[in-house]
């Protein structure tokens, strides 16, 4: 059946918004009176607009006998209840709920005596969105939950893993994508987040201030950086896979190492010191082939003044690395000299020295506050366009309570967090949901990316949880329902 012409969606939405706040004057002759709901007649759902969208999409539904009282109307999309904004007899305005996967639209109108249900002959094309969810952890009313191994989720809280309330660093095992390794500043442990059996296990308890994790190119050794105060204290060391990570050999000694990274092509190790902001190179290949002493490293440069806290993150091609200067609120880039097999001098790409703040933008117009850890993620649009650099850089910002994105051109935008402004004006909190409209973090630090899932994992320090950013997940029943008719 051919449906009547509709007003443009934007006009309808604007009209509904006006109606929601202002209503109509009874003595206005230009406004057609809306008939109240008649329980003796059917509720008809004839059409809707737009035909597709995700959680929070504004939707106008057309039909008959909707009445004029939003309190009497319920809308269900994909079995999930939508928020009804307003209703005007032959049309109503609502917001698409989350996880409305099947897209079936049902309008229920009721009075004191009867409920009448109308269903759309066509399903809404629900498009899954990236959302923030919680994987592990909890915070009780007292804020004294212990550091404890355990399951991700369990009805018995005593069996659940907890803790996670120090700045974290995350790294997926390159040979086992189900194993996520974590360290926490001021915590003595090396933790395995095991997605094979949904458990958290503290594998070692002999660290002081572990600050970063990386792996050698063959994946056989884990590299740990430790932040210790003495000039001859260990700065970096390696653990061996064939020893189940229970051995330990010191690679380098120096004070106050904030992090160490392995070049993804040439295999050298680069690490730093907080003392004077030194950037060191250690020839890890020579160490394995011939042996090197724990002081056999070279200083390439110094990042500005003493006591600059920073971490180093390598681009997957090895062409450059980003330096996140945590306590001075900016990001540097260092380009790799392939002829000399070492990095050149750094230069600024985002933020400003000592200029803490929050502002998206490009280059020095950006304002950051404690950028902490980052990951490179391939952007399919860049691949399709044939761009020379195919990766964006996603990083946590501890005191801006956000996950942000840095493009190869130096543009920074907010990816997730700082939502739910209707709750209060604070940018922090604990809210799952839409990346920008709802989600809130409280001092996120660690971040890791699972290529297998297309998902980010976040160490959310003050919420004492591990969060996840991924497409909305379906349970088994929802998968069965959406797969019905696939063979037709």
Q: Mean of the pLDDT values across residues 61-89?
A: 96
| Backbone dihedral angles phi then psi of residue 327, each to the nearest 5 degrees | -85, 0
Supply 109's token pair.
């109108």
From 54-58, 341-345, 411-415, 458-462, the region with the lowest mean pLDDT: 54-58
From 220-234, 337-351, 445-459, the region with the lowest mean pLDDT: 220-234
**Residue 356 contacts residue 369 (beta carbons within 8 Å):** yes
pLDDT over 50 (residue 351): yes
Task: Output the DSSP codes for 200-243.
Answer: EEEEE---SSEEEEEE-TTSSEEEEEE--SSTTSEEEEEEEGGG
Yes or no: domain 9-126 corresponds to CATH 2.60.40.10: yes
* Spacing of C-alpha 430 from chain mean position: 13
Task: Output the DSSP codes for 28-94.
Answer: -TTSPPPPPP-TTS--EEEEEESSEE-TT-EEEEEEE---S-GGGEEEEETTEEEEEEEE-SSEEEE
Query: Are β-strands 234-240 and 221-226 bridged in parallel, bridged antiparallel, or unpaired?
Result: antiparallel
Supply 23's token pair.
């209503």
Supply 127's token pair.
């498009």
pLDDT over 50 (residue 23): no
- Does residue 269 sit in helix, strand or coil? strand
What pLDDT was estimated at residue 476?
A: 47
% of the chain beyond a pLDDT of 70: 91
pLDDT over 50 (residue 319): yes
Domain spans, the chain = 9-126, 130-471
From 210-224, 396-410, 468-482, the region with the lowest mean pLDDT: 468-482
Across the chain, mean pLDDT equals 91
Task: Output the DSSP codes for 307-319.
Answer: S--EEEEE-TTSS
**Residue 442 contacts residue 462 (beta carbons within 8 Å):** yes
Q: How far apart are CA 227 and CA 206, in angstroms?
A: 13
Q: How far apart are CA 45 and CA 122, in angstroms?
A: 10
Q: How far apart are CA 214 and CA 167, in angstroms?
A: 17
CB contact set of 258 (below 8 Å; sequence gap of 6+) = 211, 212, 225, 227, 272, 273, 274, 309, 310, 311, 326
Query: Fold identical between 9-126 and 130-471?
Result: no
CATH ID of 130-471, from 2.30.30.30, 3.60.21.10, 2.60.40.1180, 2.120.10.30:
2.120.10.30
Neighbours of 409 (CB within 10 A): 10
């Amino acid at each position: 059946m051919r449906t009547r012409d509709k007003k443009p969606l934007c006009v309808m939405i604007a009209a509904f918004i006006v109606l929601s706040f202002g209503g109509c004057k009874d003595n206005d002759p230009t406004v057609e009176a809306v008939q109240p709901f008649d329980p003796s007649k059917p509720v008809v759902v004839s059409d809707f607009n737009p035909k597709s969208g995700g959680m929070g999409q504004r939707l106008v539904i057309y039909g008959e006998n909707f009445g004029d009282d939003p309190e009497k109307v319920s809308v269900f999309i994909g079995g999930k209840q939508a928020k009804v904004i307003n209703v005007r007899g032959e049309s109503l305005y609502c917001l698409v709920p989350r996880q409305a996967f099947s897209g079936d639209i049902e309008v229920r109108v009721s009075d004191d005596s009867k409920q009448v249900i109308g269903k759309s002959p066509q399903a809404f094309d629900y498009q899954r969105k990236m959302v923030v969810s919680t994987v592990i952890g909890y915070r009780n009313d007292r804020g004294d939950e212990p550091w404890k191994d355990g399951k991700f989720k369990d009805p018995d809280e005593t069996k659940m893993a907890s803790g996670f309330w120090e700045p974290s660093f995350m790294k997926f095992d390159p040979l086992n994508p189900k194993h996520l390794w974590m360290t926490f500043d001021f915590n003595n442990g090396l933790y395995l987040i095991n997605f094979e059996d949904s458990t958290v296990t503290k594998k070692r308890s002999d660290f002081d201030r572990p600050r970063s994790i990386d792996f050698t190119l063959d994946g056989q050794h884990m590299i740990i950086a430790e932040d210790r105060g003495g000039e001859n204290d260990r700065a970096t060391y390696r653990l061996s896979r064939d020893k189940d990570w229970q051995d330990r050999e010191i690679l380098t000694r120096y004070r106050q190492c904030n992090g160490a990274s392995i070049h993804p092509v040439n295999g050298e190790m680069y690490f730093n010191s907080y003392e004077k902001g030194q950037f060191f190179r250690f020839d890890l290949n020579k160490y394995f082939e011939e042996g090197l002493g724990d002081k056999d490293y070279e200083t390439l440069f110094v990042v500005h003044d003493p006591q600059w806290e920073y971490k180093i993150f390598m681009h997957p091609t090895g062409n450059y690395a980003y330096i996140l200067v945590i306590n001075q609120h900016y990001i540097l880039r260092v380009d790799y000299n392939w002829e000399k097999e070492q990095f050149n001098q750094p230069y600024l790409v985002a933020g400003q020295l000592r200029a803490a703040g929050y502002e998206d933008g490009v280059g020095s117009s950006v304002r950051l506050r404690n950028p902490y850890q980052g990951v490179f993620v391939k952007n399919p649009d860049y691949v399709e366009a044939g761009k020379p650099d195919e990766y964006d850089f996603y990083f946590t910002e501890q005191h801006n309570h956000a996950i942000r994105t840095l493009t190869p051109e130096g543009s920074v935008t907010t990816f997730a967090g700082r939502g739910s402004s209707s709750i209060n004006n604070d940018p922090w909190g604990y809210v799952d949901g839409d990346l920008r409209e709802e989600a809130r973090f409280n001092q996120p630090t660690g971040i890791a990316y699972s290529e297998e899932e297309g998902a980010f994992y976040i160490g959310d320090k003050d919420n004492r949880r591990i969060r996840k950013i991924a497409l909305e997940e379906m349970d088994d029943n929802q998968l069965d329902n959406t797969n019905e008719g696939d063979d037709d």
